[in-house]
Amino acid sequence: MRTPGIPLEIERKYLIRMPDPGFLSSLPGCVVSRIEQTYLPDPAPGVTERIRLRRFPDRVEYTHTVKLRLSDTTAREEEETLSEDAYRALLSRRDPSLQTLSKTRYAFPIGGQVYEVDVYPFWEKTAVLETELSDAALRAPIPPFLSVIRELTGERAYSNRNLARRIPPEPDLK
């Protein structure tokens, strides 16, 4: 369970077959955004720091996030909204060993649960599904229009930070 006052992110992550982006964006309540995520040098072991530019159809948001991984499903996450100037100042501190990670996010609610499908420009057949949960022991039902290849929760190769370092090859989907 979540501890009051401690900002926790509890999520499960799945590799899925590429869904139809037009279908996803037509879902009731779907919010589509384009994300550019840049990592800063790690401030401490097990801690990641990033900045994010997120473009919505009607606005642009800048955020700074510091995450401390607690388990495969749970991280302590502190996030703050930035001005464009503050974002640009932090951008100058980017980790030169990592690429800026770009993706299109489709976030949609179903049955009280919010699902996020991240579509990356380097994969044609696969995408990543994430669901945030209130408890690490829970699992959200997968929407029937999404086809899970496998769960990625805890697979560090598929963390966004590691995708900024090295992109795993797409699985052979037959």
The domain that holds 106 is classified in CATH as 2.40.320.10
Helices then strands, counting H and E runs in the chain, come out as 3, 9
Spell 138-159 as b/e; 16+ CB within 10 A means b: eebebbeeeeebeebbeeeebb
In a domain, 174, yes or no: no
pLDDT of residue 91: 96
pLDDT of residue 1: 39
Which residue ranges of the chain lie beneath pLDDT 70? 1-6, 174
In a domain, 87, yes or no: yes
pLDDT of residue 71: 75
In a domain, 93, yes or no: yes
In a domain, 127, yes or no: yes
In a domain, 170, yes or no: no
Its domain, for residue 79, covers 8-163
In a domain, 141, yes or no: yes
In a domain, 1, yes or no: no
pLDDT of residue 121: 95
pLDDT of residue 2: 40
pLDDT of residue 124: 93
pLDDT of residue 100: 96
In a domain, 88, yes or no: yes
Number of structural domains (the chain) is 1
pLDDT of residue 174: 66
pLDDT of residue 43: 87
109: number of CA atoms within 13 Å, CB side? 4
CA 85, CA 83: separation in Å to the nearest integer? 5
